[in-house]
């Protein structure tokens, strides 16, 4: 087995197998450039990066290299609404119109915040394509969002709101925040700066291109190979021109490799940052969120079992589980130690999540996009190695505790 010479970072004692799995991704799974990080019980136990910053170049992926993480952004955006809930600004069970009266158009007056964040509102599509310039005009954008007609009666089904969910999160934050900040600014000032996170929803112009990893686009040839493991229902919806899934990607124009696209705020899909930042954010939530002022009541709402409308995702064509803006574990989509875990995957194979049962925050990111809907082997082997390490360390600690007990009684 060979591995790139520029793998950097470290792992805590007991987590050596995570580094081995990371090296194998380059040697056996075609990894080009990537990073993985994990915090356990509040301490950083894995922080690795390696490979090349660009698919065709020779510049190494460095400690501070960042990459656009697609839908991982949804989870970090959902954290802003959790903070608003903890501060008493936003009630998940209130109608959206109580904060945003114009939202009532097209029969949406009874849609609750919980239904909207659970992908149950049917607001998958937009009736016009949004350019980068329109994304920057938040007042104009609010008008576009308010007039949309649901694709199904809200609350009766659920379906992945591919790009729109972040835009609705954005307007909710603007409405409930006393300072009426954009979601990206709210995230920066209330979450990223207090925690020291190198993550941005709306990339600052001051960050140089040399810090950014360039995404390798999906190719038709690799798409054909992916048919072996992509659920047939998802494949059919992706290739069918009129499907909700295919049309949901067409609402926003822009190239995720271009600065102009990354510098706009698209809270469902253009966050840029390090795996370290994502894992740290989820670690704070896995610890209960008190470092950010998240209350026990808000954490109980986040970790409660999702109450989904319908079993099958109307957009993806397969079962999915969402709650309050996060992906949740379920019978066919499982991660974490229990159904209390929460997070968000990103297109191509990246993933970030919190496991409050064992106090774990985890993140993996890369720039060679894959076609797996979930459990990309590169990410899954790293996640499995983290859990295996924790189990081994926990078992050793229990043995030592049992050995010490007789001596203490004596």
Per-residue model confidence as pLDDT tens digits over 15-38: 999 999 999 999 999 999 999 999
Q: Which of 355, 255, 270 shows the shortest CA–CA distance to 77?
A: 270
Q: How confident is the model at residue 220, as a pLDDT?
A: 58
Active site (annotated) includes residue 71 = yes
Average pLDDT, the chain: 92
Count CA atoms within 13 Å of residue 8 on its CB side.
11
Quote the CA–CA distance of 386 and 389 in Å, as a whole number: 5
pLDDT digits (tens, 9 = 90+) for 86-105: 999 999 999 999 999 999 99
Mean pLDDT (whole number) for 39-67: 96
Indicate whether 409 pLDDT > 60: no
Angstrom distance (rounded) from CA 5 to CA 193: 33
**pLDDT at residue number 254:** 81
For residue 53 the two structure tokens come to: 């910053």
DSSP E strands, 215-323? 272-273, 322-323
Mean pLDDT, residues 68-80 taken together: 97
- Check residue 236 and give its pLDDT: 76
C-beta of residue 367 within 8 angstroms of C-beta of residue 67? yes
Higher pLDDT, residue 251 or 230: 251
Confidence of residue 333 (pLDDT cuts 50, 70, 90): confident
Here the tokens at position 148 are 């949309």
Answer whether residue 320 shows pLDDT above 70: yes
Contacts of 299 (CB under 8 A, 6+ apart): 285, 288, 289, 356
Instruction: Please give the share of the chain, as a percent, with pLDDT higher than 90.
Output: 78
Phi, psi of 158 (to 5 degrees): -140, 155
108 neighbors 85 (Cβ within 8 angstroms): no
Q: What is the pLDDT of residue 407?
A: 55
Instruction: Choose, from 71, 77, 248, 350, the residue flagged as catalytic.
Output: 71
Q: Which of 96-110, 146-160, 245-259 has the lowest mean pLDDT?
A: 245-259
DSSP lists the bridge partners of residue 40 as 43, 360
| Cβ atoms 313, 350 nearer than 8 A | no
Domain regions of the chain by residue span: 62-343
Strand order in the sheet with 322-323: 8-11, 43-51, 33-40, 360-366, 351-355, 342-345, 326-327, 322-323
Q: Name 28's Cβ contacts closer than 8 Å, sequence gap at least 6.
A: 1
Q: What confidence score (pLDDT) does residue 129 get?
A: 94
Give the predicted TM-score (pTM) of the model.
Answer: 0.94
358: helix, coil or strand? coil
Return d(Cα 145, Cα 168) in angstroms, integer.
7
Tell me: pLDDT of 115 over 50.
yes
Average pLDDT (63-83) is 98
Q: Give yes or no for residue 201 having a pLDDT over 90.
A: yes
**In whole angstroms, what is the distance from residue 267 CA to residue 257 CA?**
16
Q: How confident is the model at residue 224 (pLDDT cuts 50, 70, 90)?
A: low
The predicted model gives 339-350 an average pLDDT of 95
What was the pLDDT predicted at 1? 41
- pLDDT score for 2: 44
CA distance 89 to 114: 14
User: Quick one: pLDDT band at residue 268, thresholds 50, 70, 90?
Assistant: very high
What separation in angstroms does the CA of 404 have from each of 14, 300, 390, 395? 21, 36, 21, 14
pLDDT at 3: 45
**Helix (H/G/I), strand (E/B), else coil: 230:** coil
Mean pLDDT of 231-236: 76
Asked if 70 contacts 58 with a C-beta cutoff of 8 angstroms, the reply is no
pLDDT bracket for residue 374 (50, 70, 90)? confident
Predicted pLDDT of residue 405: 62
- What DSSP designation does 10 have? E
pLDDT of 117 above 90: yes
Contacts of 245 (CB under 8 A, 6+ apart): 160, 162, 234, 237, 238, 315, 316, 317
The third-level CATH classification (topology) of the domain covering 62-343 is Beta-lactamase (3.40.710)
């Amino acid at each position: 087995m060979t591995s790139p010479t520029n793998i950097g970072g470290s792992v805590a004692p007991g987590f050596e197998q995570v580094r081995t799995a990371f090296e194998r991704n380059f040697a056996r799974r075609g990894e080009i450039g990537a990073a993985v990080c994990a915090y356990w019980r509040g301490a950083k136990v894995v922080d690795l990066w390696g490979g090349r910053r660009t698919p065709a170049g020779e510049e190494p992926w460095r400690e501070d290299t960042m990459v656009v993480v697609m839908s991982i952004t949804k989870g970090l955006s959902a954290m802003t609404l959790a903070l608003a809930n903890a501060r008493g600004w936003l009630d998940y069970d209130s109608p959206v119109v109580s904060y945003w009266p114009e939202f009532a158009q097209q029969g949406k007056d009874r849609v609750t915040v919980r239904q909207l964040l659970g992908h149950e509102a049917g607001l998958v599509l937009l009736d016009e394509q949004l350019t980068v310039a329109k994304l920057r005009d938040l007042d104009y954008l609010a008008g576009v969002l308010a007039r949309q007609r649901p694709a199904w009666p809200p609350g009766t089904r659920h379906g992945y709101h591919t790009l729109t969910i972040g835009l609705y999160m954005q307007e909710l934050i603007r409405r409930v925040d006393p300072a009426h900040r954009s979601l990206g600014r709210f995230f920066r000032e209330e979450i990223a700066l207090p925690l020291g996170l190198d993550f941005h929803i709306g990339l600052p112009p001051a960050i140089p291109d040399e810090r950014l990893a360039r995404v390798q686009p999906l190719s038709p040839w690799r798409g054909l190979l992916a048919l072996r493991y992509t659920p047939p229902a998802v494949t059919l919806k992706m290739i069918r021109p009129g499907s909700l899934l295919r049309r949901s990607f067409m609402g926003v124009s822009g190239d995720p490799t271009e600065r102009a696209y990354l510098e706009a705020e698209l809270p469902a899909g253009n966050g840029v940052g390090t795996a370290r930042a994502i894992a740290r954010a989820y670690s704070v939530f896995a610890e209960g969120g008190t470092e950010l002022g998240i209350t026990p009541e808000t954490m109980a709402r986040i970790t409660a079992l999702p109450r989904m409308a319908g079993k099958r995702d109307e957009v993806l064509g397969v079962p999915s589980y969402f709650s309050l803006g996060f992906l949740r574990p379920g019978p066919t989509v499982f991660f974490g130690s229990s159904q209390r875990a929460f997070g968000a995957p990103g297109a191509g194979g990246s993933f970030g999540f919190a496991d409050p049962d064992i106090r774990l925050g985890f993140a993996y990111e890369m720039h060679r996009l894959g076609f797996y809907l979930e459990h990309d082997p590169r990410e899954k082997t790293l996640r499995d190695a983290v859990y295996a390490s924790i189990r081994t360390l926990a078992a050793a600690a229990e043995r030592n505790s049992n050995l010490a007990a007789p001596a203490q009684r004596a």
